[in-house]
Structure 1
Amino acid sequence: MIRVDLASMAVDSRGQPVVILRPRFPQQAPVRVLPIWIGVQEASAIMLALEGATASRPMSYDLMARLLDVLNATVQQVAVTRLEEGTFFAEITLNTPNGIQVVDARPSDSIALAMRTESAIFVSESVLQEAGVPESQLGPGDENADKESQIEEFHHFLDTVDPDDFRG
Protein backbone atom coordinates (compact mmCIF):
# COMPACT_ATOMS: atom_id res chain seq x y z
CA MET A 1 0.00 0.00 0.00
CA ILE A 2 1.14 3.50 -0.83
CA ARG A 3 0.27 6.44 1.44
CA VAL A 4 -1.37 9.20 -0.59
CA ASP A 5 -2.68 12.70 -0.06
CA LEU A 6 -5.65 14.39 -1.62
CA ALA A 7 -3.63 16.56 -3.99
CA SER A 8 -6.50 18.41 -5.62
CA MET A 9 -10.09 18.38 -6.74
CA ALA A 10 -11.31 19.43 -10.13
CA VAL A 11 -14.28 19.27 -12.44
CA ASP A 12 -13.74 17.51 -15.76
CA SER A 13 -14.97 18.73 -19.13
CA ARG A 14 -18.30 16.91 -18.62
CA GLY A 15 -18.87 18.60 -15.26
CA GLN A 16 -17.96 15.54 -13.19
CA PRO A 17 -15.99 16.08 -9.95
CA VAL A 18 -12.60 14.35 -9.77
CA VAL A 19 -10.27 13.86 -6.81
CA ILE A 20 -6.57 13.46 -7.48
CA LEU A 21 -4.63 11.24 -5.07
CA ARG A 22 -0.86 11.71 -5.06
CA PRO A 23 1.74 9.55 -3.30
CA ARG A 24 2.98 11.29 -0.17
CA PHE A 25 6.50 9.94 -0.75
CA PRO A 26 6.89 9.28 -4.51
CA GLN A 27 9.33 6.45 -5.21
CA GLN A 28 9.61 6.85 -8.96
CA ALA A 29 9.69 9.44 -11.69
CA PRO A 30 7.48 10.40 -13.31
CA VAL A 31 5.14 10.61 -10.32
CA ARG A 32 1.87 8.76 -10.97
CA VAL A 33 -1.33 10.20 -9.53
CA LEU A 34 -4.72 8.54 -9.28
CA PRO A 35 -7.78 10.41 -10.57
CA ILE A 36 -11.08 9.09 -9.21
CA TRP A 37 -14.38 10.45 -10.48
CA ILE A 38 -16.88 10.94 -7.67
CA GLY A 39 -20.43 12.15 -7.14
CA VAL A 40 -21.45 15.73 -6.45
CA GLN A 41 -22.56 15.05 -2.87
CA GLU A 42 -19.30 13.32 -1.99
CA ALA A 43 -17.36 16.12 -3.66
CA SER A 44 -19.27 18.70 -1.61
CA ALA A 45 -18.48 16.85 1.61
CA ILE A 46 -14.79 16.57 0.73
CA MET A 47 -14.62 20.24 -0.24
CA LEU A 48 -16.22 21.31 3.05
CA ALA A 49 -13.67 19.21 4.94
CA LEU A 50 -10.79 20.72 2.92
CA GLU A 51 -12.05 24.19 3.79
CA GLY A 52 -12.49 23.27 7.45
CA ALA A 53 -16.12 24.34 7.14
CA THR A 54 -19.09 22.79 8.87
CA ALA A 55 -22.71 22.73 7.82
CA SER A 56 -25.43 24.03 10.13
CA ARG A 57 -26.69 20.44 10.43
CA PRO A 58 -24.54 17.31 10.31
CA MET A 59 -23.88 15.91 6.85
CA SER A 60 -23.71 12.14 6.36
CA TYR A 61 -19.95 11.99 6.89
CA ASP A 62 -20.14 14.18 10.00
CA LEU A 63 -22.78 11.79 11.31
CA MET A 64 -20.62 8.75 10.51
CA ALA A 65 -17.63 10.32 12.28
CA ARG A 66 -19.77 11.18 15.31
CA LEU A 67 -21.25 7.66 15.46
CA LEU A 68 -17.76 6.17 15.40
CA ASP A 69 -16.74 8.51 18.22
CA VAL A 70 -19.78 7.59 20.35
CA LEU A 71 -19.01 3.89 19.78
CA ASN A 72 -15.35 4.40 20.79
CA ALA A 73 -14.17 3.45 17.32
CA THR A 74 -11.64 5.30 15.19
CA VAL A 75 -10.74 5.20 11.53
CA GLN A 76 -7.24 3.74 11.34
CA GLN A 77 -7.00 4.20 7.58
CA VAL A 78 -8.89 4.05 4.32
CA ALA A 79 -7.52 2.31 1.27
CA VAL A 80 -8.39 2.08 -2.41
CA THR A 81 -7.74 -1.63 -2.74
CA ARG A 82 -8.66 -2.74 -6.22
CA LEU A 83 -10.07 -1.88 -9.62
CA GLU A 84 -12.51 -4.23 -11.36
CA GLU A 85 -14.09 -3.47 -14.73
CA GLY A 86 -13.55 0.25 -14.29
CA THR A 87 -14.92 0.37 -10.73
CA PHE A 88 -12.70 1.25 -7.78
CA PHE A 89 -13.18 -0.54 -4.46
CA ALA A 90 -12.05 0.65 -1.05
CA GLU A 91 -11.92 -0.45 2.56
CA ILE A 92 -12.18 1.46 5.80
CA THR A 93 -10.14 -0.03 8.65
CA LEU A 94 -11.63 0.71 12.06
CA ASN A 95 -10.14 0.33 15.52
CA THR A 96 -13.06 -0.74 17.72
CA PRO A 97 -13.44 -2.01 21.29
CA ASN A 98 -13.90 -5.45 19.66
CA GLY A 99 -10.68 -5.20 17.66
CA ILE A 100 -9.85 -4.23 14.09
CA GLN A 101 -12.78 -4.25 11.67
CA VAL A 102 -12.47 -3.81 7.90
CA VAL A 103 -15.50 -2.43 6.07
CA ASP A 104 -16.07 -2.48 2.29
CA ALA A 105 -16.75 1.03 0.94
CA ARG A 106 -16.73 3.22 -2.12
CA PRO A 107 -13.55 5.29 -2.52
CA SER A 108 -15.53 8.54 -2.50
CA ASP A 109 -17.17 7.69 0.83
CA SER A 110 -13.85 6.50 2.25
CA ILE A 111 -12.05 9.69 1.25
CA ALA A 112 -14.85 11.89 2.60
CA LEU A 113 -14.76 10.05 5.93
CA ALA A 114 -10.95 10.17 6.04
CA MET A 115 -11.06 13.93 5.52
CA ARG A 116 -13.54 14.28 8.41
CA THR A 117 -11.51 12.07 10.75
CA GLU A 118 -8.05 13.17 9.58
CA SER A 119 -7.20 9.56 8.76
CA ALA A 120 -4.52 8.19 6.46
CA ILE A 121 -5.43 7.37 2.87
CA PHE A 122 -3.69 4.55 1.00
CA VAL A 123 -3.84 3.15 -2.53
CA SER A 124 -2.80 -0.33 -3.56
CA GLU A 125 0.35 -0.28 -5.66
CA SER A 126 -1.37 -2.34 -8.37
CA VAL A 127 -4.28 0.15 -8.59
CA LEU A 128 -1.87 3.08 -8.88
CA GLN A 129 0.05 1.29 -11.63
CA GLU A 130 -3.11 0.28 -13.52
CA ALA A 131 -5.20 3.44 -13.23
CA GLY A 132 -2.67 6.10 -12.30
CA VAL A 133 -1.46 8.67 -14.78
CA PRO A 134 1.78 10.62 -14.90
CA GLU A 135 1.27 13.84 -12.97
CA SER A 136 2.50 15.78 -15.99
CA GLN A 137 -0.56 14.61 -17.98
CA LEU A 138 -2.86 16.63 -15.74
CA GLY A 139 -1.97 19.70 -17.70
CA PRO A 140 0.19 22.73 -17.11
CA GLY A 141 -0.23 24.30 -13.71
CA ASP A 142 -2.34 21.50 -12.22
CA GLU A 143 0.58 20.10 -10.27
CA ASN A 144 0.86 23.24 -8.16
CA ALA A 145 -2.62 24.63 -8.70
CA ASP A 146 -3.74 27.36 -6.35
CA LYS A 147 -6.14 25.90 -3.76
CA GLU A 148 -8.22 29.09 -3.69
CA SER A 149 -8.89 28.94 -7.44
CA GLN A 150 -9.75 25.23 -7.19
CA ILE A 151 -12.22 25.95 -4.42
CA GLU A 152 -13.69 28.88 -6.34
CA GLU A 153 -14.05 26.77 -9.50
CA PHE A 154 -15.69 23.96 -7.57
CA HIS A 155 -18.11 26.33 -5.80
CA HIS A 156 -19.08 27.71 -9.21
CA PHE A 157 -19.74 24.17 -10.39
CA LEU A 158 -21.93 23.46 -7.35
CA ASP A 159 -23.85 26.70 -7.87
CA THR A 160 -24.59 25.95 -11.51
CA VAL A 161 -25.08 22.17 -11.53
CA ASP A 162 -28.55 20.90 -12.34
CA PRO A 163 -29.56 17.63 -10.63
CA ASP A 164 -31.21 16.55 -13.90
CA ASP A 165 -27.71 16.38 -15.42
CA PHE A 166 -27.08 13.25 -13.33
CA ARG A 167 -30.26 11.31 -14.04
CA GLY A 168 -29.88 8.16 -16.09
Structure 2
Amino acid sequence: MDIESIVVGGGPVASLIVLKTHDGPAALQLPIRIGSVEATAISMGVNPRQGSRPMTHDLLASTISALGGRCASVRIMAVQGTTFFAQLELVREGGEQVFVDARPSDALALAVREGLPIYAADDVLETAALPDFRGVEKDEEAHELEEFHNFVESLSPEDFNVIPGDKDPE
Protein backbone atom coordinates (compact mmCIF):
# COMPACT_ATOMS: atom_id res chain seq x y z
CA MET A 1 0.00 0.00 0.00
CA ASP A 2 1.00 3.60 -0.45
CA ILE A 3 0.10 6.71 1.50
CA GLU A 4 -2.49 8.46 -0.66
CA SER A 5 -3.09 11.49 1.54
CA ILE A 6 -2.66 12.91 5.01
CA VAL A 7 -5.18 15.30 6.52
CA VAL A 8 -3.89 17.10 9.59
CA GLY A 9 -6.87 18.19 11.65
CA GLY A 10 -6.95 20.56 14.56
CA GLY A 11 -9.21 21.01 17.55
CA PRO A 12 -12.38 18.95 17.09
CA VAL A 13 -11.44 17.95 13.52
CA ALA A 14 -9.85 14.50 13.43
CA SER A 15 -6.71 13.80 11.43
CA LEU A 16 -6.80 11.11 8.79
CA ILE A 17 -4.35 9.11 6.75
CA VAL A 18 -5.54 7.36 3.61
CA LEU A 19 -3.66 4.33 2.34
CA LYS A 20 -4.21 3.07 -1.20
CA THR A 21 -3.66 -0.38 -2.64
CA HIS A 22 -1.44 -0.48 -5.69
CA ASP A 23 -2.18 -3.97 -6.91
CA GLY A 24 -5.26 -5.90 -7.92
CA PRO A 25 -8.01 -5.13 -10.41
CA ALA A 26 -9.73 -2.38 -8.41
CA ALA A 27 -7.83 0.06 -6.22
CA LEU A 28 -9.02 0.46 -2.65
CA GLN A 29 -8.52 3.23 -0.14
CA LEU A 30 -8.09 2.54 3.57
CA PRO A 31 -8.83 5.59 5.75
CA ILE A 32 -7.37 5.47 9.26
CA ARG A 33 -8.20 8.11 11.86
CA ILE A 34 -5.13 9.26 13.79
CA GLY A 35 -4.18 12.06 16.16
CA SER A 36 -3.03 15.42 14.85
CA VAL A 37 0.43 15.04 16.44
CA GLU A 38 0.86 11.68 14.71
CA ALA A 39 -0.39 13.11 11.39
CA THR A 40 2.19 15.89 11.69
CA ALA A 41 4.93 13.32 12.40
CA ILE A 42 3.99 11.35 9.29
CA SER A 43 3.86 14.53 7.19
CA MET A 44 7.31 15.50 8.43
CA GLY A 45 8.57 12.08 7.35
CA VAL A 46 7.02 12.46 3.90
CA ASN A 47 8.41 16.00 3.52
CA PRO A 48 11.61 16.11 5.59
CA ARG A 49 13.23 19.45 6.31
CA GLN A 50 16.96 19.89 6.00
CA GLY A 51 18.73 20.57 9.26
CA SER A 52 15.78 19.73 11.49
CA ARG A 53 16.42 17.81 14.69
CA PRO A 54 15.56 14.10 14.81
CA MET A 55 12.02 13.27 15.88
CA THR A 56 11.01 10.31 18.04
CA HIS A 57 10.52 8.06 15.02
CA ASP A 58 13.97 8.99 13.70
CA LEU A 59 15.41 8.03 17.10
CA LEU A 60 13.58 4.69 16.99
CA ALA A 61 14.98 3.89 13.53
CA SER A 62 18.50 4.87 14.62
CA THR A 63 18.22 2.74 17.77
CA ILE A 64 17.06 -0.33 15.85
CA SER A 65 19.96 0.10 13.42
CA ALA A 66 22.51 0.69 16.21
CA LEU A 67 21.41 -2.57 17.84
CA GLY A 68 22.08 -4.48 14.60
CA GLY A 69 18.54 -4.72 13.33
CA ARG A 70 16.63 -3.21 10.48
CA CYS A 71 13.04 -2.30 9.82
CA ALA A 72 11.49 -4.50 7.12
CA SER A 73 7.79 -3.64 6.80
CA VAL A 74 4.62 -2.29 8.38
CA ARG A 75 1.52 -4.46 8.55
CA ILE A 76 -1.98 -3.24 9.37
CA MET A 77 -3.21 -6.45 11.01
CA ALA A 78 -6.69 -5.85 12.42
CA VAL A 79 -9.49 -3.38 12.93
CA GLN A 80 -12.01 -3.33 15.77
CA GLY A 81 -14.62 -0.63 15.36
CA THR A 82 -12.59 2.43 14.42
CA THR A 83 -9.37 1.20 16.06
CA PHE A 84 -6.66 -0.25 13.83
CA PHE A 85 -3.82 -2.49 14.99
CA ALA A 86 -0.42 -2.74 13.32
CA GLN A 87 2.85 -4.60 13.55
CA LEU A 88 6.33 -3.45 12.73
CA GLU A 89 8.42 -6.20 11.16
CA LEU A 90 12.05 -6.05 12.26
CA VAL A 91 14.92 -8.26 11.14
CA ARG A 92 17.78 -9.02 13.51
CA GLU A 93 21.40 -9.23 12.39
CA GLY A 94 21.17 -13.02 11.94
CA GLY A 95 18.05 -12.74 9.78
CA GLU A 96 15.50 -13.58 12.49
CA GLN A 97 12.18 -11.80 12.03
CA VAL A 98 10.59 -10.07 15.00
CA PHE A 99 7.09 -8.57 14.98
CA VAL A 100 6.40 -5.69 17.35
CA ASP A 101 2.91 -4.43 18.19
CA ALA A 102 2.51 -0.79 17.12
CA ARG A 103 -0.07 1.88 16.58
CA PRO A 104 -0.58 2.34 12.84
CA SER A 105 0.35 6.01 13.09
CA ASP A 106 3.72 5.24 14.71
CA ALA A 107 4.43 2.39 12.30
CA LEU A 108 3.55 4.59 9.31
CA ALA A 109 5.70 7.45 10.61
CA LEU A 110 8.60 4.99 10.70
CA ALA A 111 7.67 3.56 7.28
CA VAL A 112 7.89 6.94 5.53
CA ARG A 113 11.27 7.65 7.11
CA GLU A 114 12.73 4.25 6.25
CA GLY A 115 10.99 3.63 2.91
CA LEU A 116 9.26 0.51 4.22
CA PRO A 117 6.58 -1.41 2.35
CA ILE A 118 3.12 -1.13 3.91
CA TYR A 119 0.73 -4.08 3.90
CA ALA A 120 -2.84 -4.54 5.12
CA ALA A 121 -4.43 -7.87 5.98
CA ASP A 122 -7.17 -8.97 3.59
CA ASP A 123 -9.80 -8.99 6.35
CA VAL A 124 -8.87 -5.38 7.23
CA LEU A 125 -9.42 -4.37 3.60
CA GLU A 126 -12.70 -6.29 3.45
CA THR A 127 -13.92 -4.59 6.63
CA ALA A 128 -12.67 -1.02 6.33
CA ALA A 129 -11.51 -0.22 2.79
CA LEU A 130 -13.47 1.86 0.31
CA PRO A 131 -13.34 1.85 -3.49
CA ASP A 132 -11.09 4.48 -5.04
CA PHE A 133 -13.92 6.53 -6.51
CA ARG A 134 -11.54 8.38 -8.83
CA GLY A 135 -10.90 5.07 -10.55
CA VAL A 136 -14.65 4.43 -10.76
CA GLU A 137 -15.19 7.87 -12.32
CA LYS A 138 -12.46 7.21 -14.90
CA ASP A 139 -14.08 3.87 -15.77
CA GLU A 140 -17.48 5.56 -16.15
CA GLU A 141 -15.99 8.28 -18.38
CA ALA A 142 -14.29 5.65 -20.54
CA HIS A 143 -17.55 3.71 -20.83
CA GLU A 144 -19.51 6.85 -21.79
CA LEU A 145 -16.87 7.76 -24.38
CA GLU A 146 -17.03 4.26 -25.85
CA GLU A 147 -20.85 4.44 -26.04
CA PHE A 148 -20.65 7.83 -27.78
CA HIS A 149 -18.04 6.51 -30.23
CA ASN A 150 -20.28 3.52 -31.05
CA PHE A 151 -23.23 5.88 -31.56
CA VAL A 152 -21.26 8.11 -33.94
CA GLU A 153 -19.98 5.07 -35.85
CA SER A 154 -23.56 3.84 -36.31
CA LEU A 155 -24.79 7.11 -37.86
CA SER A 156 -25.58 7.31 -41.56
CA PRO A 157 -26.49 10.25 -43.85
CA GLU A 158 -30.15 9.15 -43.69
CA ASP A 159 -30.12 9.94 -39.98
CA PHE A 160 -29.74 13.60 -40.95
CA ASN A 161 -32.28 13.62 -43.83
CA VAL A 162 -29.45 14.14 -46.28
CA ILE A 163 -29.47 12.42 -49.63
CA PRO A 164 -25.97 11.67 -50.85
CA GLY A 165 -25.11 13.82 -53.91
CA ASP A 166 -27.76 16.49 -53.22
CA LYS A 167 -26.52 20.00 -52.93
CA ASP A 168 -27.14 22.02 -49.82
CA PRO A 169 -30.56 23.76 -50.26
CA GLU A 170 -29.12 27.12 -49.24
Asked whether the two chains share a fold, i.e. TM above 0.5, the reply is yes
Match for residue 107 of structure 2 among 91, 105, 110: 110
The answer to whether the 8 A contact 2:14-2:34 is kept is: yes
| Greater relative CO, 1 or 2 (CA 8 Å, sep 6+) | 1
Matches within 5 A, 1:1-168: 4-11=1-8, 14-25=12-23, 27-29=24-26, 31-53=27-49, 56-97=52-93, 99-136=96-133
Query: In structure 2, how many angstroms separate the alpha carbons of the residues matched to 1:77 and 1:28?
Result: 23
> Cα 1:126–1:49, aligned 2, differ >3 Å: closer, same or farther?
same
Rg (Cα) greater in structure: 2
Q: Summarize deviations over 1:25-83 as a string: whole Å, max 9, x none.
A: 2x133x22100011122111111111132563221101001101111211110100011
User: In structure 2, how many angstroms separate the alpha carbons of the residues matched to 1:39 and 1:23?
Assistant: 23
How far did residue 17 of structure 1 move? Answer: 1.4
Question: What is the rounded CA distance, in whole Å, between the counterparts of 1:90 and 1:5 in structure 2?
Answer: 15
- Structure-2 separation of matches of 1:130 and 1:9: 21
Q: Distance in 1 between matches of 2:52 and 2:20?
A: 31
Q: Distance in 1 between matches of 2:9 and 2:34?
A: 11
RMSD between aligned alpha carbons? 2.1
* Matched residue type, 2:18: I
Matched residues, percent identical? 33
Q: 2: CA distance between counterparts of 1:12 and 1:125? A: 28
How far did residue 93 of structure 1 move? 0.6
In structure 2, the gaps of 5 or more residues are: 138-170
**One-letter amino acid of the counterpart of residue 60, structure 1:** T
Q: Kindly tell me the number of residue pairs found equivalent between the two proteins.
A: 133
Q: Which consecutive segments of 4 or more residues in structure 1 shift more than 6 A?
A: none
CA contact (8 A) 1:48 1:54 kept: no
Amino acid aligned to 1:41: V
Higher strand share: 1
Question: TM (normalized to structure 1)?
Answer: 0.72
Asked whether the 8 Å contact 1:8–1:20 carries over to 2, the reply is yes
Contact persistence 2:8–2:39 (CA under 8 A): no
Structure 1: 5+ residue runs without aligned partners? 141-168
